[in-house]
Amino acid sequence: MSAAKQLKELRQQDFDRLLLWLDDDRERAGILYEKIRWRLVTILAARGCTLAEELADETIDRVARRVSDIQATFVGDKAIYFLGVMNNVHHEYLRRPPLPRLIEDNQGLENREQIHFCLDSCLEQLAPYARQLIERYYAADRQAKIDLRKVMARELGIKTSTLRLRALRIREKLQTCVESCLETVSEARP
């Protein structure tokens, strides 16, 4: 067995062990894993780290490798454990010489077209109520937008803060839908 293959298998074993440590139910463990990763990335980005995603993955890798040692004795919030490891990883990153920041231009014409296509498609998939709400919430500009949102909240008999949450939840669904659509489009390409 090659060294690379051994390493890959080892990582898969570590990862499976990590999921089991997070939760006995593999589906719930998967959701928890995604949440932890998102939190790590968000915190690292808020610290101004230009490699937030890489460092989050490095953090998870380190925890996964340590699970076999700690799982029998660990007490406390497992998610917090990740935060501690992440702090170490981040300190190491800060000691490295700064790398030039690569800005990926993923806003090419084709990508823009695909995003618009997917957005239209996702808007079509929304329930009529949700679609109407998001269209009105994002309509108009500046003061007109603020006024419109007040009118909408009054019409719905809710506070503007509740309206904001409702609209943003629909916006979140749209984001997920568009990303999923873009993946499908790119997979369908030869």
Residues at the site binding other proteins, with contacts judged by CB under 8 A: 35-36, 38-39, 41-43, 45-50, 52-53, 77, 79-80, 82-83, 104, 106-107, 111-113, 115-117, 119-120, 123, 132, 134-136, 138-142, 144, 147-148, 151, 160-161, 164-165, 168-169, 171-172, 174-175, 178-179, 182
Give the Cβ contact number of residue 136 at 10 Å. 17
Question: Least distance to other proteins from the beta carbon of 25, Å?
Answer: 17
Nearest CB to other proteins, comparing residues 54 and 61: 54
Nearest CB to other proteins, comparing residues 7 and 165: 165
Nearest CB to other proteins, comparing residues 8 and 35: 35
Question: Least distance to other proteins from the beta carbon of 108, Å?
Answer: 11
| Helices of type H across the chain | 3-22, 26-46, 52-70, 78-95, 109-125, 128-137, 142-156, 160-188
Q: Is 72 helix (H, G, I), strand (E, B) or coil?
A: coil
Question: Least distance to other proteins from the beta carbon of 14, Å?
Answer: 22
Of 50, 39, 26, nearest to 80 (Cα)? 39
Question: Least distance to other proteins from the beta carbon of 3, Å?
Answer: 30
CA–CA distance, 29 with 143 (Å, rounded to integer):
45
How is residue 160 written in tokens?
Answer: 């503007």
Question: Least distance to other proteins from the beta carbon of 159, Å?
Answer: 8
Nearest CB to other proteins, comparing residues 16 and 61: 61
CA–CA distance, 109 with 120 (Å, rounded to integer):
17
How is residue 97 written in tokens?
Answer: 């010489």
Nearest CB to other proteins, comparing residues 8 and 159: 159
CA–CA distance, 190 with 186 (Å, rounded to integer):
9
